[in-house]
Each structure stands twice: as C-alpha cells, then as structure tokens.
Structure 1
Amino acid sequence: MRLRGLGRRKLTLRARVAVLSALGVALAVVVVSLAGWWLMHGRMYEDLDLRLSADAAQAVQATTPEEAARSLHVADELPDTWSDDDPPTEIQQLIRLAGLPPPVVVRFLDSRGHAVSAGAGAEWLGTVTSPAARVARSGTGQDLADAEAGDETVYRVLTTARPGGAVQVAARVTGIEGTLDDLRVLLTWIGLAGAALAGLVGWGVARAGLRPVDRLTGAVETVAETHDLDSSIPVAGHDEIARLATAVNHLLTALAASKAAQQQLVEDAAHELRTPLTSLRTNVELLTYAEQQLGSGRTLAPDDRARLLRDLGVQAEELTTLTTELVELAAENTDPEPFGPLDLADVVHSAVIRARARWPQVVFTVSATPASLTGQAGGLSRVVLNLLDNAAKWSPPGGTVRVRLSTTDGQAELTVTDEGPGIDEEDRPKVFERFYRATGARSMPGSGLGLAIVAQIVGTHAGSVVAGPAPDGGAELRVRLPPDRVS
C-alpha cells in the first residue's frame, strides 16, 4: 500500500486529471458498449425467434421437408450465383458441394423422436436432442435450442409438434454472430479512441484550469524564498482559486503580525531584563570586591552588606517573576490549553484562596454567583489570580479587595476593585499592553506582564477587559466573558 501511494504521488496533478478523465470515459464507453451490444444481441435473436415461429407454423402444414423449404422461400436467401428457378434438389446439391450451411434447414421427426426425413444441411443439426424428442413423442409444445459445430453456434433450431411427430426448422445464425462480432470490434475501437481523446482533452483542461494554481504556487514559493511576509498575492475573480489566494494573503498577514509581535516581545523582554540584570551584576561585584578587601582590613559595613543581600533577593525575585510571566505568555501563543465546560465561580473561589495565602496583609471579599461557560480552566485561573495580585499590590495594608462575579446580558462579568490610588485616565487604555508601567508604578515591583496576560487570555475567550475607577476610590478591573464560547 505504501509503494502504491508513493507511485500516485509521483504523478503530477495534470497527469492525474488526464488519467482519471481517460479512465472515466473508458468506463462509460465500456458500459454503454456492453449495453448496446447486449441490446443488439437480444433484438436480433428475438427477431430470429419470431421468424422461426412463423416458419415453423408454415412447415407444419407441409408433407415433406422439400415442400416446407419451398414454402419458406429458402432459395431467396442463397447467393446471387444460385438461380431461384433451380429445383430444390439441385439447390441441395449446390449447398453440399460448397460445404456451407444453408440458410434454413427443415427436418421431420416421427412420433418416437427419430429423424425420418430432412432437407439440405441436416447434418449440421446433429442428433435429435432429448427435449426435441419429447415434443415429438408428446405431440404438444415447442423446444428452442442451438445447434453447434465445435465451439461455434451454427443454427437456431425450433421444434414444433405436428400430427405423427414434430417438425424442426433451423435458421442459420452465422450472419448474426458475424454482425455482432463486427459490432464488438467497432465498439472496442471506439472505446479506445474515446479514452485516448478523453486523456488529451483532460490534459488540456487540466493545463488550462491549473494555470492559476501555478501562478499562485509561484507567488507562494517567492514569499517562501524571500521571507517577505509583507507582500501579497494578486487576486483576480471570485472562484475557488481567488478564495485560496485571499486565504493565503490572510495567512501572510497573520504570520507578519505574529512575527512582529514576537520581535516586539523579544525587544521588550530584553529591555526589561537589562535593568534587573545590571543591578544584580553591580551588587554581586560589590560583594565580591568587599570579600577581596578583607585581607587589607577594609570591610563592608554590616548594614550595607545586609542591604546589598536584600537587594539581591528582590532582584532575583523580580527576575523569577518576569521569567515565569514570559513563559506563560509564550505558552499561550504556542501551546493553547483546550476548551471545556466549567463554572467560573469555582475558578474564582480557588484563585481567592491562593491570593489570600500570598497576600495575608490584604482582606479579600467574594460575591460569586454560578456562571457556566466553555473555556480554559487554567487560563481563566491565571486571569483571576493576576487581577487579584494586581489589586493586592496596590492596596494598603489592611485594605480590602472586592471580588464580584455575576451574569449580565447573558455574559459572565467579573469585577475586581481595590483601595489603592487608582489608575490615571490616560493610563487606563495602556495598562493591558506588554511591559507597560505607569509613571506611578515604576517604583513598585512587577514586570508589566500580568495585565497583558489577562488581556490575551480574555481575548482568546472572545471576551473583553477594561480598567476604570472604583466607586469608593482605587481601581476597578472588569472582565466580561460570553457563556457559550467554544473553541
């Protein structure tokens, strides 16, 4: 099976279309030819059987085979070199001398089924068959059979009862078989010619029809070689090729956007990593230098040493947080979590439990009603936890973070408010951008990726997230998710 599949793949699409066209036409021609041949075969033998019935009805009235032959006008069916005026005996002699089967043969049977008299050509009929003998013995009915010489059918024989026995009238079928043979040869040649013509026409049609595909393939290959994702493929018409070209253009646009986003992410990550790494390296060099000066009696003050170690811990924690969030952001792009049915209220309660353990100095209040939807459980858990972390970070010690989950207009709505300083109006549209940090937030720990991850996951769920002022001061972040989101 594998080898045959490889063989098919070696054929070009044009060749496959041509071969399939030829095979299709050949199959159609074979079916039509067989149907026509069998129809002609049946019609010719049906006419022959009707003629035999009429001849047998006349032959029953005759007293001898010769009289029956004269009544059937046997001489009319002989070649033109034989005279119609010749008596039957001379006709019989001519037939015997020529060694050819006569057109019609008449043979009489007695009541026991034995041949008692026969006209010219009776030797071609052979012995009397058992069904024919039963007709003669019973004196009723008919029997239709074929008389063969070797493997070739020579006569169609009809046996009909008559007083005192039966009469057999045999008509030669070599003319019918010859006509059918000629028809068979003709249909065979027609089929071969039709298949060859269909192959040529199929090749031409495939070549003309696939010309737009060739142009599209060339354009795609050019893009693959140049890596120019900003180029577009010309689209002409509204057929399937045009739709394919449009889809390829959309794909190129998506790839270009993804590449730009990836490059921007790398640049932003490099920028954000540079500051903590520089600070970390400086502190490590200071501690190393202080260790090297121990022999000279110059030592680092305990308070300065403790401050440097504390700064190292903070910087290491910032790097860890930044690395974790970068990995989560990349994972959402490359390996998305599958969607499934869930209750967002369960996700919220689970995230609040984790937030309380991470922020013991902040009070979390929860009001959640059941909200069933189809989504990513892990992704939505990160959304809720990032919102809680952001609110707790900006809340003062002993402050309260309020979490409310409800359904509005058929959508699940999650609201998280804090008691912090709030978000300036000009910063609200930008807080969900990667690495964006407002002026007042630059002194606070964080990477600027938490809310960007929230926006990305919510967008994956066809939802929305907005930032605004809380009714009692602070910031309010609101997420809306459709309940029937299916991936």
Structure 2
Amino acid sequence: MKNPFRRLTLRLRLGLSAAVAVAVAVSAVAVASWLITRQQLTGQLDSNLRNVQAAPRFVGQLLKECARPDSGQRFAAPSPYVVQVVTADGRVCVDAGSKKIAIDASDLAVARGTLESAMHNAVSEDGRRMRVLTTAPPGLTGLCEVFMGMRVPATAPPEDLTGLCAVSVAQSLDVVDEPLDTLALFLLGFAGVGVVAAAAAGIGISRAFLRPVKHLTDAAEHIARTHDLTVRIPVEGDDEVARLSKSFNDMTEALATSRDSQQQLIADAGHELRTPLTSLRANTQLLIRSRTTGRKLPEDAEDDLLRSVESQVGELASLIADLQELSRPDVRPGESFLHVVALHEVAGRALERVRPRGSRLEFSSELEEWYVLSESSALERAVVNLLDNAVKFSPAGGTVSLRLSDGRLSVRDQGQGIPANELPHVFDRFWRSPSARSLPGSGLGLAIVAKAVQQAGGTVTLRPAGVRGTEAVVRIPGTRTAPPEPAPVGA
C-alpha cells in the first residue's frame, strides 16, 4: 500500500513536516511547563498544610470539642482548611461546618503509631478533591483516649500516654486544579496557534526556496517535451539548490554537445562514405554493363576497374573499423580492465607492422623501457596510426624515426610539415588537410590516437620538426621498471 503522504506535493509535505515538528516541540514544552507548575503548586500547598499542622491550638481545641460533643461549642477550622481527627479504629471527628474526608490505610497507620505522617489526595463527602496531611501531634494523646471513651486519671501526665489517634489537616485542590486548568487552556491555544503558524510559514518558505526547483522541473519537462537542450536555469547563490541548477545546466550542455557531436559524426561519416560508395557503384555498373551488352572491356581496363573496386572496398572496411574504434566507450586510467603495458614493446610491434608499407623509406628507432597503465591493442593502434601518417607524408628516401625516452614517445617524418593554422584541427574527426585530400585515409587516424592516449592518462601533440617535417609527441605517465603483476583472485 502506497504511503498517502507521498501523494502530496513537496511544498505541502514541507509545510506539514514543519507543522508536525513545531507541534511536537510545543507539546513537549507545554507538557513540561504544566508538570513543573503542578509540582510547584502542589509543593506550596503541602508547605501550607505543614504550617497549619504545626499550630497545636487548632488541634487541641478540636480534640476538646470532639471529646465533649454535648458542650454546645464546636471548633471551626480557619478557612480554607479542614481539620479532622482519625482514631486508631477508624472513627472520624471533623470541625464544625466541614465535611468528612475519606481516610485510607496511611491515615490509620499514623493513628496507630506505625507511621509518622502521611500526605495524600482524598475526596470529601461533598465530592471535593482534597490534599490531606495526617500526623500524630505529641501531648494530645490523653484527649484522644477521652474521645475514644477511655478513662484517664486527670493527674496523669499526657506524655506518659501512647498515641491512639491522628489529626488530618486538608485543603481543597481547587487552588492547584484551577490554575492548572487555566494554564492548560492557554498552552493548548498557544500550541494550536503555533502549529498553524508553523504550517503556514513552512508552506510559504518552501514555496520561496523551491522556486528554483520548480524552474528546474519546468525546464526538465520542456526538454522532455521539445528535446530543446538550449534551455538553461538561472543560478543564484551557491547553496545546494544553486549547485543543483548548475549541475543541470552542465548536464544539458554536455548532452547538447554530445548530440551535436553525434550528428556531426553521422554527417561526416556519410560524407566520407559517399565518395568510395559512388566510385564503387560506378565501377560496378561499368563492369555489369560490359557483361550484359557483350562489349568486353580491354583486359587492362578491366584489371584497373577490379583493382579500383578492391581498393574502395578496403577503404570502406578501414573507415568502418575506424568508426567502430571511435564508438567504443571511453576508458579512464585505473579502471579494472586496464593493465600494465610495456610501451617500448608496443612501439616495436607497431614499427614492424608499418615497415612493409614504407619500402622506399628508412626507419630508425631507439626505444627505452617504459611501462604504462593502458589497453595494449588501443595503444598499439595509436602508434601504428602515427607511423602511418609519417610514412604517408615522407618523400621517397626519407627517414621516419621512432624514439622513446623517459616516457616521451616521438614519431618524426621529413615531409612538407603542417601549416601552423591547421595544427589546432589535426585531432578532429574527419578533418583532413586540403593538401592531403587526394591521399588515402578517412581523417580518423589522429582522432583515434588522441582517444587512446587520453584513456591512458597521457597527452599527444603535433609540431613542426625543425626546418622540414612534423613530429608527433606522446607523453604517458609510467615507470622505467615493470611493476609486480597483481595477485590472482583467491590466491
């Protein structure tokens, strides 16, 4: 079953949460205040009862009147107190004009001498709640015995007699209950007003603070509806909501860049594929027409067409392979499927792969040991592409040099070089120098190099190599000695 609280809006939930929090806090304070006030009032009432009990003239007069009920004179306790005598057998004598107060076991225990005093609440005959203090005052036990019907010699000193009764002094609990009731009503009203005010303030404050979130929601809904990634959220301040808005703007910008790159890649790939496909279709149609019409092409021309078809198919295959390489997800240094690679060995293998393609060139190499964290196949593909470029642009009889020293891998040719205004674009996808448009290639080689080097945590740059030629420099962090291989799982 779903929580109905989740169905409410965030603004309303914040308001209700604030109201609940204030209600709990105010209720706790109100209950604590009421309990402390009750304790103070009850303590004051108990203190008053003890002061009254300490006046023996009130008690003595009452005991005399209780011992002579036919005297016609009855003692009336000073208002607002009630004084009554409790005998050991449970009889009660109360002052004139007062109602008897119910006794309990603690009052009898005081009358029988087993308890010094007792303080408790009780109810009078007229239903009033009373606070009662029961004690056995010394020096008045003789009158207690007379009241109980015992004969005591008049000359007997009172202190030689044992206690046979107790005296209770009581006062109505109205002096405590009425202020407490008034305080409870006040606290209840105060709590209610506080809760309502907290709820209203919570909703108002949440509305103000959630305004950026509303803008964010509206922007997200607009993007989902229109696919318009140009929407941006105004960022104000540096709090959590501002950081969320900035992150949203960064995300939409990254998505827009990714979408633009994807569209550009598709457009560029379509453009690059169109040329070999057009040429391939023309050559194929020419061969088909020759067969269907019976007009056989000269053998040399037919061989040229077939070689052209083979070259164009190879170019398409190379372009597709490059696109697949670029479409692979990026790998960051330190991820689990990267491992230690001997860069000098990778560079040596790449040189052996490229050497047959430059049969008219000289190759020189000087490779020091260097170990990096990378993907071996991707790194080898990058070095092969750099060497291929050097072979492509080097004149016959030129020299292509490969050097690896202190983590710096350089590939140098003796070609015409790259103009300074073209250097910022050499690693762009499908970019080709105007002077190299007639040469084979897709314009993806250096883009693949940049991706592989960046995944290994390194950098790659192209720069003029002195008076003539171009030098590609790759720097990848690593070490001169091979680190220990990680232990196999479970070892």
TM-score by length of 2: 0.72
Cα RMSD, aligned residues only: 4.2
Name the SS for the 2:171 alignment partner: strand
What letter corresponds to residue 437 of structure 1 in structure 2?
Answer: R
Gaps of 5+ in 2: 67-71, 139-162, 479-491
Q: Which residue of 2 aligns with 1:159?
A: 134
> 1:349-388 residue pairs with structure 2 within 5 A?
349=344, 351-352=346-347, 355=350, 358-359=353-354, 361=356, 365=365, 367-370=367-370, 377-378=374-375, 382-388=378-384
CA gap of 1:9–1:230, structure 2 versus 1, over 3 A, is same
Please give the residue correspondences for 1:97-246 in structure 2 after superposition, counting only pairs within 5 Å. 103-109=80-86, 113-120=88-95, 123-126=100-103, 128-129=104-105, 131-138=106-113, 141-147=116-122, 154-163=129-138, 164-165=163-164, 166-211=166-211, 213-214=213-214, 218=218, 227-230=227-230, 232-233=232-233, 246=246
Change (3 A) 1:287 1:394: farther
Tell me, yes or no, if structure 1 residue 320 matches structure 2 residue 295.
no
Partner in structure 2 of residue 466 of structure 1: 461
Provide the rounded CA distance (Å) in 1 between the counterparts of 2:298 and 2:124: 129
Task: Pick closer, same or farther for the CA change 1:360–1:243 going to 2, 3 Å.
Answer: closer
Residue 447 in structure 1 maps to residue 447 in structure 2: no
Alpha carbons of structure 1 residues 174 and 478: separation in structure 2 relative to 1, 3 Å: same
Question: What corresponds to 1:286 in structure 2?
Answer: 286
Offset from partner CA, 1:411-445 (integer Å, 9 cap, x none)? xx442314453633444333212212235544443
How many Å apart are 1:238 and its aligned residue? 6.6
Question: Does the CA-based 8 Å contact 1:145-1:158 persist in structure 2?
Answer: yes
Residues 324-356 of structure 1 deviation map (CA, whole Å, 9 limit, x = unaligned): 22233233xxx4335416998615256447536
Alpha-carbon distance between aligned partners in 1 of 2:476 and 2:319, rounded to the nearest angstrom: 27
SS at match of 2:101: helix
Q: 1:38 to 1:405 in 2, by over 3 A?
A: farther
Pairs aligned (count): 434
Matched residue, 1:421: 415
Instruction: Work out the CA distance in 1 between the residues paired with 2:60 and 2:225.
Output: 98
User: Which residue identity lines up with residue 331 of structure 2 in the other structure?
Assistant: E
Aligned counterparts of 1:67 and 1:326: Cα–Cα separation in 2: 120
Correspondences of 1:49-64 after superposition (within 5 Å)? 49-59=46-56, 62-63=59-60
2:43 corresponds in structure 1 to 46
Q: Is the 8 A contact 1:352 1:385 kept in 2?
A: no
Change in Cα spacing, 1:108 to 1:437, as seen in structure 2 (3 Å) is same
Q: Percent identity?
A: 34
Q: Is the 8 A contact 1:421 1:473 kept in 2?
A: yes
Match status 1:436 vs 2:431: yes
Asked if structure 2 preserves the Cα contact closer than 8 Å seen for 1:156 and 1:171, the reply is: yes
Superposition deviation, residue 48 in structure 1: 1.6
Q: Are 1:463 and 1:479, in contact at CA under 8 Å, matched by a contact in 2?
A: yes
In 1, are the aligned partners of 2:409 and 2:474 still within 8 Å (CA)? yes
1:262 aligns with 2:239: no
CA distance in 2, matches of 1:24, 1:287: 86
* Distance (Å, rounded) in 1 between the aligned partners of 2:408 and 2:89: 109
C-alpha separation in 1, matches of 2:32 and 2:423: 80
Which amino acid counterpart does residue 390 of structure 1 have in structure 2? L
1:348 aligned residue: 343
Query: Based on CA coordinates, which of the two structures has the bigger radius of gyration?
Result: 2
CA 1:422–1:402 in 2, change beyond 3 Å: closer, same or farther?
farther
Q: Is the CA contact (8 Å cut-off) linking 2:18 and 2:202 kept in structure 1?
A: yes
Per the TM alignment, residue 481 of structure 1 is displaced from its structure 2 partner at its CA by 4.8
For residues 446 and 66 of structure 1, do their structure 2 counterparts lie closer, same or farther at Cα, with a shift above 3 Å needed?
A: farther
Q: Please, which of 328, 332, 336 is the counterpart of residue 330 of structure 2? A: 336
Residue equivalent to 1:390 = 386
Look up the SS of the partner of 2:428 in the other structure: coil
Quickly say closer, same or farther: Cα 1:418–1:196, change in 2 above 3 A.
same
Contact 1:106 1:122 in 2 (8 A): no
The offset of 1:311, in angstroms, is: 2.8
Cα offset, 1:38, TM superposition: 0.8
Q: How far apart are 1:32 and its partner, in Å? A: 1.2
1:310 aligns to 2:307 (yes or no): yes
Q: 1:59 to 1:173 in 2, by over 3 A?
A: farther
One-letter code of the match for 2:129?
A: V
- Cα distance in 2 between the residues matched to 1:419 and 1:68: 134
Q: Is the 8 A contact 2:331 2:455 kept in 1?
A: no
Cα distance, 1:140–1:148 mapped onto 2, change above 3 Å: closer
Q: CA deviation at 1:274?
A: 0.7
Q: What is the DSSP-based 3-state SS (H/G/I as helix, E as strand, rest coil) of the residue aligned with 1:32?
A: helix
Q: Distance in 2 between matches of 1:67 and 1:313?
A: 139
- Call closer, same or farther: CA 1:161–1:443 in 2, change over 3 Å: same
Cα distance between partner residues in 2 of 1:105 and 1:114 = 21
Is the deviation greater in 191-200 or in 53-62?
53-62
**Is the Cα contact below 8 Å between 1:276 and 1:315 reproduced in 2?**
yes
**Following the alignment from structure 1 to structure 2, what is the Cα–Cα distance between the partners of residues 206 and 392?**
63
Could you tell me whether the CA contact under 8 Å between 1:322 and 1:447 is conserved in 2?
yes
User: CA shift at 1:323, angstroms?
Assistant: 1.7
3-state SS, counterpart of residue 316 of structure 1: helix
CA spacing shift, 1:56–1:458, aligned 2, 3 Å: farther
**TM-score, length-scaled by structure 1:** 0.73
- 2:7 is aligned with 1:10: yes
| Residues 339, 118 of structure 1: alpha-carbon distance in 2 compared, 3 angstrom cutoff | farther
1:477 aligned partner: 472
Q: Which amino acid aligns with 2:289?
A: Y
Equivalent residues of 1:364, 1:402 under 8 A apart: yes
Structure-1 separation of matches of 2:65 and 2:389: 124
Assess if the C-alpha contact under 8 Å between 2:121 and 2:129 holds in 1: yes
Q: Partners of 1:339 and 1:390 in 2: how far apart?
A: 22
The question of whether the paired residues in 1 share the 8 Å contact of 2:463 and 2:472 is answered with: yes
One-letter amino acid matched to 1:147: A
Q: CA deviation at 1:369?
A: 4.5
